[in-house]
Structure 1
């Protein structure tokens, strides 16, 4: 089973305006409310790939009920921990003529020690053959080591894990052997305080993450495609042609495609192919990609061995 953890889920209130004028009354052209959160995005892509997952996280208050109602339309298996304070609302304002998007993100609820303990109890059932995907921001009063502590716990129980994070937080997880890490090329350069001249430079630095313990490294490179780097080989996936509509969730989708496919096939190259397709399909969609779009984009991606 794949478990996704979204510690700080949200209702994403997306507003579309012709123009945004600060200090004045603005009227929307359209608006939509979506269940938000990086782990939620992973579970939604897995659903499109017909792969089971259970979404975990903290949900509370009137907004928490709305969040669960919005999510119910996607028919996901969930096991949320109920908390006393409200689930946050994130506001995204898209001013079409100005070609600008402004985001205002809520901080999320305070999580009590008792609520955190209730959440941790659910992870006692995780074991051999399971993968836990942890991603997204943390609510207030949750330790910055929350995900790392969970990784240590489930590893002892025999499960694999993925933490979608960057910087020192990523480096701290590597000795625990995450199944896959996915920095983009800018984040990878920042990790080692360097710049890249070509793909070989990226591959060489990605292998440093393998040397520190990661099992697979995915490096997304926007319009230049993506790389999969293993200890013995490196592979490139082209960026398929299409109009990027919304890059939010593309990285989550790539992780979902890789992890879900790897769970079924244990084939890193095929998992990379599907991950690249899921990521691009979401970038070409207004919301998280659907199965038909993923299958269409998959046909336009080719995998080439580089070394």
Structure 2
């Protein structure tokens, strides 16, 4: 069993526009609404690849049935902590050129009782699982040290923890040396305080994270691919795509593939291949944050791997 912590469940709205001009009226050509949040994206893609997975997050009365039905249909065991307030909304606006502008909602403000309900579910999840994924932002009310505390709990239980977060959440989590961290280009740039604009810079950053005690840092770089490091060496992986439709959630799907690869005991290069194939599968589809097994299997042989020598 894999447990995914996606406390800040969202409702994703992907809207296509003719154009997006600040200060002017824009009319939607079409709109897709689906359950979202980084953790949910990770969990449903893990399930699509055939692994047992449970997701711990929030649910509100208005979306309880929609989220529960989708998670059930996709094979995710969903432990939803219900709140009276509304879930956050994440909006992605795509103009005619394909450029995407994202607006990420803040999420509800949780009281101590609601926070403790999520943490109890987390502790039960650790008991059930060998891999625990901490993914995305948090609802308001939690301290920025909470991922570090959860990762330390996972470590002390003798389990492996994967962290995908930005800002202070990631900085604090690094202090307890989780098994995997997966920053994207913006997050690793913020973390190191210097531009990480190409794969060479990403390799250097990943190696530095490994030297700081992270067993398997993975840095995702969008269309440039991804790099990963462990004790066996350093690898790059990339794939060329010609018909990109929706890149929102591709990093989440990449993390799902990495998680599945670790669960299956694959070598680093094959873990990275699976992750990049999952990210690519999402980018070629219309839905946000989901990769089907058939599309991943079709794309995996197209992923180019390169071992980077020290």
- TM-score with structure 2 setting the length: 0.87
1:87 offset after TM fit, Å? 1.6
| Structure 1 residues 38-187: aligned runs within 5 Å | 38-96=38-96, 99-125=98-124, 126-127=126-127, 130-185=130-185, 187=187
> How many residues were matched structurally?
306
Instruction: Encode CA deviations 1:16-56: one digit per residue, 9 max, x unaligned.
Output: 33345777775433222111110111111111210111010
Are residues 213 and 93 of structure 1, via their aligned partners in 2, closer, same or farther at CA, if it must alter by over 3 Å? same
- TM-score with structure 1 setting the length: 0.88
Are residues 129 and 81 of structure 1, via their aligned partners in 2, closer, same or farther at CA, if it must alter by over 3 Å? closer
Q: Provide the rounded CA distance (Å) in 2 between the counterparts of 1:192 and 1:23.
A: 35
Q: Provide the rounded CA distance (Å) in 1 between the counterparts of 2:293 and 2:59.
A: 28
Are residues 37 and 197 of structure 1, via their aligned partners in 2, closer, same or farther at CA, if it must alter by over 3 Å? closer
Structure showing greater radius of gyration is 1
Give SS of 1:265's match.
coil
| Structure 1 residues 133-282: aligned runs within 5 Å | 133-185=133-185, 187-195=187-195, 199=199, 201-282=201-282
2:16 maps to what in 1?
16
Q: Which runs of 5+ in 1 are unaligned?
A: none
1:100 offset after TM fit, Å? 4.6
Give SS of 1:79's match.
strand
Question: Is 1:290 aligned to 2:292, yes or no?
Answer: yes
Are residues 167 and 271 of structure 1, via their aligned partners in 2, closer, same or farther at CA, if it must alter by over 3 Å? same
1:153 offset after TM fit, Å? 2.0
The alignment yields a C-alpha RMSD, in angstroms, of: 2.6
Instruction: Encode CA deviations 1:141-166: one digit per residue, 9 max, x unaligned.
Output: 22222222211222222221111023
Q: Which runs of 5+ in 2 are unaligned?
A: none
Q: Is the 8 A contact 1:63 1:88 kept in 2?
A: no
- Shifted more, 188-197 versus 206-215: the winner is 188-197
Are residues 146 and 100 of structure 1, via their aligned partners in 2, closer, same or farther at CA, if it must alter by over 3 Å? same
